[in-house]
């Protein structure tokens, strides 16, 4: 009986190793794999002011964070298109509004990474509550990964006309210098190609 248990345990371990190897091979074929996308409200960061200066009370921003892995040694440029679906809370707000914003990262080394984008507090007040978030990642103009939260098999972000430019990259926000080294370099929009 003991020998049968040992053989069964060895067979199960071999099966798990095989499944893990197949999963790793499948991910190795993809240049980018999204591990997780999430959205949450965050307070305006507080910076120390010179004595005597008044500091305003922090407001609520909305942050969309994407955790992702890259397989090539280097990716010259990769563009993240973020989509945020907002549902109006009051009669004077639109029922559904799709907001979008892009960020392009440069010189992305192989490994695990973070990306984040933000909605300004006034955008939230004007349009309502966030219902869903999505990200589409392109390398050399080709879609290499996409995900949404909550997870969906439908590309709901393709169903509405988006309002451009209201999803801000971190360099357009007071979050720019927080954990600076945890994020990739953002391509300056006016830079030559």
Pairing relationship of beta strands 163-164 and 167-169 according to DSSP bridges = unpaired
The residue among 164, 178, 47 whose CA lies nearest residue 114 is 178
- Tens digits of residue pLDDT in 80-92: 999 999 999 888 8
> 20: part of which helix (H) or strand (E)?
helix 2-28
* Interacting residues of 41 by C-beta distance below 8 A, sequence separation 6+: 60, 61, 62, 63
> 135: part of which helix (H) or strand (E)?
strand 129-139
pLDDT of amino acid 92:
83
> 18: part of which helix (H) or strand (E)?
helix 2-28
DSSP 59-96: -EEEEEEEEEEEEEEEEEEEEEEEEEEEE-SSTTS-SE
Distance CA 191, CA 105 (A): 12
Per-residue pLDDT of the chain (193 residues; tens, 9 = 90+): 445 444 444 444 443 443 333 344 334 578 999 999 999 999 988 776 666 666 667 789 999 999 999 999 999 999 999 999 999 988 888 889 999 999 999 999 999 999 999 999 999 999 999 999 999 999 999 999 999 999 988 899 999 999 999 999 999 999 999 999 999 999 987 655 5
* Architecture of the domain whose range is 31-45+58-186: Sandwich (2.60)
Check: CB of residue 44 under 8 Å from CB of residue 59.
yes
Hey, how many other C-beta atoms are within 10 angstroms of the C-beta on 30?
Answer: 13
Q: What is the pTM of this model?
A: 0.78
The residue among 154, 146, 140 whose CA lies nearest residue 104 is 140
Structure tokens at 154: 């439908």
Q: Phi then psi for 120, rounded to 5 degrees?
A: -65, 150
Distance CA 44, CA 129 (A): 18
What are residue 92's DSSP bridge partners? none
pLDDT of amino acid 11:
44
């Amino acid at each position: 009986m003991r020998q049968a248990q040992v053989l069964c345990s060895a067979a199960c371990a071999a099966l798990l190793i095989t499944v893990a190897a197949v999963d790793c091979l499948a991910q190795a074929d993809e240049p980018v794999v999204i591990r997780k996308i999430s959205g949450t409200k965050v307070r305006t960061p507080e910076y120390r002011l010179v004595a005597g200066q008044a500091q305003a009370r922090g407001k609520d921003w909305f942050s969309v964070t994407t955790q992702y892995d890259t397989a090539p040694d280097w990716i010259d440029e990769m563009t993240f298109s973020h989509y945020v679906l907002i549902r109006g809370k009051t009669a004077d707000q639109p029922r559904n509004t799709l907001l979008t914003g892009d960020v392009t990262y440069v010189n992305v080394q192989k490994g695990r990474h973070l990306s984040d984008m933000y909605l300004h507090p006034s955008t939230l007040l004007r349009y309502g509550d966030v219902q869903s978030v999505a990200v589409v990642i392109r390398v050399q103009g080709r879609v290499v990964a996409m995900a949404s939260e909550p997870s969906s098999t439908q590309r709901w972000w393709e169903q509405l006309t988006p309002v451009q430019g209201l999803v801000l990259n971190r360099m357009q926000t007071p979050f720019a210098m927080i954990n600076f080294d945890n994020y990739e370099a953002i391509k300056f929009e006016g830079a030559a190609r």
